[in-house]
Amino acid sequence: MSDALNPVQQDAVRCTDGPLLILSGAGSGKTRVITHRIAHLVREKGVSTSRIMALTFTNKAAGEMKERVEKLLGGAMRSMWIGTFHAISARILRREGHWIGYERDFIIYDTSDQLTVIREAMSNLMISEDRCPPKSARSRISHAKNGYVDPEAFLSSGSGPFAEDVAKIYRAYQQIMRARNAMDFDDLLVNVVALFQQHAGVLKTYQDRFRYLLVDEYQDTNHLQYMLTKLLAARHRNLCVVGDDDQSIYQWRGADITNILNFERDYPEAEVIRLEQNYRSTQTILKAAAAVVKHNRTRKEKKLWTENDAGKPISVLQGVDERDEARRVLAAIERERTEGHRGFGDFALLYRTNAQSRALEDELRNAGIPYVIVGGLRFYERREIKDVLAYLKLVANPRDALSLRRIVNVPKRGIGDATMLKVQDFAVEKEIGLYDALGRAEEIVGLSGAMTKHLKTFHQHIEAFREQKTNLSVDQLAQEIVAGVGYIEDLQKDRSDENQTRVENVRELLSAMEEFVERSEDASLEAFLSEVSLFTDIDTWDEERDAVTLMTLHSAKGLEFPVVFITGLEDGLFPIIRADGESDLEEERRLFYVGITRARQRLYLCYALQRRRWGSLGYGAEPSRFLREIPKELLEYETPRLDEDASFRSRSGRTPYPPRRHSARGKKQAVAPAGEEDQTASGDSVRYVPLEDGTFPFDVDSWVIHPSFGRGQVVEKSGLGTSTRLVVRFGDGRKKRLMAKYAHLEAG
DNA sequence: ATACCCTTCATTTTT
DNA sequence: TGAAGGGTAT
């Protein structure tokens, strides 16, 4: 990219006052313009950074923006509010939520937490899950919120099947969330809009403070975000929105493309600037992108151009099935690597659905190629991470019954479901929270003395953490908790690979917290919890790593790679057609457009003639109609090589690469079990003598025979009498935990 | 309490 | 297909 801004970019930078719509084509240097614009405001116009707010969709975009502005201005931009809509809303609500009945320490529920609450609401209402699937309730509630529709309005609008049920669930759900001082993602936006609408004074403070407002990816704003933007900008009207209607790919989530299409109607005095020079891709790639998106009707006409070379044709790869497709991708990667002198980090493999990553992943792993998967299984959604966070959440907010339930018996404290039911009954009877009920465990009838003690101990433990909360930083507090409850030790009791990974993840979390404390001005527990709740996988994606990147087309938005493979280009998959036959072809096409324009030099379009979808159901597929929308002269079909070599490889799973270890986040490595050789040597024979009380005489190191596992050696023994438990290592190296009284062991 | 078997779900995309 | 969660036998 050239150093100086081009004339249009300069216009966009200098046009600071009044509403401005920047239509920025893919690869047109959008981020550069935004950051220079902010720097211009500060340096040339003397605007204080504290008066600028920039809203983005992802933390990554926000972080990048902040970093680049800091670089331009040479200093930390503490006072400037750059963040995602959700993060900024959370920040405002931490300060002002009390106006609308939330406490400062409200917690943010993720989508699985949401589901739990919905189930709870449904069971209270006696609505069966067959009648109204919780997930569909969730999505309809979310839609309602995105349209700023409350339960009552939802009911009167009476839309869709079971509208009454959903309205009831919606209301009950909100009641539960309120009682727990909790908000879901949508609530963050709903509440900040409600706050501003109901409290003019509060709104005025923010309107006055933020004289310059900037919104990135405006084409993806939903109605709530639109309202929020409008409210904030109403006073100064210095609102700059940046976007590209051709890259609107979140309508399914409530994004309203008319926000960008109607900007000029909302702000008649708005300037419009079009960034149309592309600095990223070859002419060939741009031509293909333009030809595709031209098929859409609802869009603003624009003409992207570039001074770059024509570049190579776009390659089309055909596989017989998804494995074959994957192998062809790998072959192309290898060719690019040797001929094009590229590193693994230059490649991106994009797909429509996360499930498609498997075949690619399998082949990459076989070949020993390092790769990173973005999305899919998220760090903060892992069990161990959620456990630790649940402790923190409970410490932050004892009303968070969800977190309480999650960890009350983790690690095991002998507090089971039956006990918690009694606690719950007591809590309901006394009209107190679950947590407070634990503190009064001695009053609960029907609990054994030991159980009461367990509950009290747990309560005291948490109380102690709550006291420490004020003197300790978040990371120290987390360390105290992890150590205090023996979380890691508990994991290490079972030394499986899986648990080892879990321990590492917990440590990773702890170090992430240290980092958080170092870099944040507000290092409070609440701020940390807010941040992690709003974190996604793409945010941690490390572009420096020399590894092939795998991700969905959606995740790829905003990124670029020298070489891009778009896989699974089959009708029905991409464009996707759902089970009900519904498909938004224009949005799918925009998604394809986004994918194409991620590529700088080389683009590969791949499909398979047959693909397994949900297992055995293989379906024959037509190549995607989108392929036909690209002019033939831009394409180069790779001769399908369906020779015996390919089929041989398909069976043996061999590839030209030697297997090598690599780490792919979130995927457990296929590690061969620690091979213990056959134990054929006869050890000391222990006579099988069943004792009167049913105990068994086996000790550590003695040999036993199990009716189904065969012969093995006792490596651990715990418990006494009838509850004797043994860990036995059998012939194939597998260790089994056995309850001696059930195992039918014989001496051997 | 654990281990295994069964069912179900996911397969659209995410803050 | 395979992961994950529930239920049941041990």
Report residue A73 as tokens: 């201005």
Nearest residue: Cα versus C1' of B10? A614
* Low-confidence winner among A397-401, A531-535, A698-702, A744-748 (lowest mean pLDDT): A744-748
Q: What is the pLDDT of residue A528?
A: 85
Confidence tier at A359 by pLDDT (50, 70, 90): confident
Three-class SS of residue A685?
coil
Nearest residue: Cα versus C1' of B1? A739
Q: Which residue has 């970093």 as its token pair? A: A67
**Can you tell me the mean pLDDT for A91-96?**
94
* Low-confidence winner among A108-122, A402-416, A452-466, A685-699 (lowest mean pLDDT): A685-699
Q: In Å, what is the CA distance from A283 to each residue of A32, A341, A349, A634?
A: 22, 22, 21, 10
Phi-psi region of A29 (alpha: psi -120 to 50; beta: other; left: phi over 0): left
Three-class SS of residue A391?
helix
Q: In Å, what is the CA distance from A431 to each residue of A171, A346, A377, A439, A442?
A: 20, 60, 39, 14, 17
Q: What is the pLDDT of residue A693?
A: 40
* Low-confidence winner among A67-71, A297-301, A394-398 (lowest mean pLDDT): A297-301
* Low-confidence winner among A146-160, A257-271, A658-672, A709-723 (lowest mean pLDDT): A658-672
pLDDT at A157 over 90: no
Three-class SS of residue A713?
strand
pLDDT at A23 over 80: yes
Q: Verify if strand C has an atom below 7 Å from the CB of A670.
A: no
Active site residue A537: no
pLDDT at A545 over 80: no
pLDDT at A245 over 80: yes
Protein CA at A743 to nucleotide C1' at B1, angstroms: 14
Protein CA at A692 to nucleotide C1' at C10, angstroms: 20
Active site residue A598: yes
Protein CA at A6 to nucleotide C1' at C6, angstroms: 62
Q: What is the pLDDT of residue A673?
A: 27
Q: In Å, what is the CA distance from A477 to each residue of A385, A429, A611?
A: 15, 34, 49
Three-class SS of residue A259?
helix
A:589-628 Cβ neighbours of strand C under 7 Å: 612, 614-616
- Cβ A226 vs Cβ A243: under 8 Å: no
Nucleotides of C under 7 A from a protein CB: 1-2, 4, 10
From the alpha carbon of A615, which nucleotide's C1' atom is closest?
C1
Q: What is the pLDDT of residue A218?
A: 93
Confidence tier at A506 by pLDDT (50, 70, 90): confident
Protein CA at A397 to nucleotide C1' at B4, angstroms: 39
Among A171, A280, A328, A598, which one carries the catalytic annotation? A598
Three-class SS of residue A717?
strand
Confidence tier at A682 by pLDDT (50, 70, 90): very low
Q: What is the pLDDT of residue A496?
A: 65
Active site residue A463: no
**Can you tell me the mean pLDDT for A709-731?**
60
Note the pTM of the prediction, 2 decimals: 0.76
User: Whole-angstrom Cα distance, residue A630 to residue A635?
Assistant: 8
Counting residues of chain A whose pLDDT is more than 70, the rounded percentage is: 81
Q: Which residue has 């609102």 as its token pair? A: A239
From the alpha carbon of A744, which nucleotide's C1' atom is closest?
C10
A:689-748 Cβ neighbours of strand C under 7 Å: 739, 742-744
Protein CA at A300 to nucleotide C1' at C5, angstroms: 48
Q: Verify if strand C has an atom below 7 Å from the CB of A358.
A: yes
Report residue A489 as tokens: 């030790």
**Can you tell me the mean pLDDT for A686-691?**
28
**Can you tell me the mean pLDDT for A155-171?**
80
DSSP letter (8 states) at residue A244: -
Among A247, A284, A356, A597, which one carries the catalytic annotation? A247
Protein CA at A58 to nucleotide C1' at B6, angstroms: 40
Q: Between these two residues, A561 and A504, which has the higher pLDDT value?
A: A561
User: Whole-angstrom Cα distance, residue A731 to residue A742?
Assistant: 20
Active site residue A247: yes
From the alpha carbon of A382, which nucleotide's C1' atom is closest?
C4
Q: What is the pLDDT of residue A646?
A: 38
pLDDT at A543 over 70: no
Q: What is the pLDDT of residue A698?
A: 63
Protein CA at A398 to nucleotide C1' at C7, angstroms: 32
Q: What is the pLDDT of residue A426?
A: 87
Counting residues of chain A whose pLDDT is more than 90, the rounded percentage is: 39
A:44-103 Cβ neighbours of strand B under 7 Å: 57-58, 84-87
Among A217, A256, A346, A588, which one carries the catalytic annotation? A217
Among A11, A14, A31, A237, which one carries the catalytic annotation? A31
A:230-249 Cβ neighbours of strand C under 7 Å: none
Nearest to A231 by CA among A263, A202, A251: A202
Q: What is the pLDDT of residue A686?
A: 25
Protein CA at A687 to nucleotide C1' at B5, angstroms: 34
Nearest to A233 by CA among A53, A92, A13: A53
Protein CA at A682 to nucleotide C1' at C2, angstroms: 40
Q: Which residue has 């036909």 as its token pair? A: A628
Among A30, A299, A323, A557, which one carries the catalytic annotation? A30
From the alpha carbon of A738, which nucleotide's C1' atom is closest?
B2
Q: Verify if strand B has an atom below 7 Å from the CB of A418.
A: no
Task: Give pLDDT tens digits for A626-678.
Answer: 999 999 999 988 765 443 333 333 333 333 222 222 233 333 222 222 222 22
Protein CA at A499 to nucleotide C1' at C3, angstroms: 17
From the alpha carbon of A557, which nucleotide's C1' atom is closest?
B13
Mean pLDDT of chain A: 81
Nearest residue: Cα versus C1' of C2? A615
A:365-404 Cβ neighbours of strand C under 7 Å: 377
Task: Give pLDDT tens digits for A366-378.
Answer: 888 888 888 766 6
Q: What is the pLDDT of residue A209?
A: 95
pLDDT at A708 over 70: no
Q: What is the pLDDT of residue A689?
A: 30
Q: Rounded to the nearest 5°, which phi and psi values hold at A704?
A: -135, 165
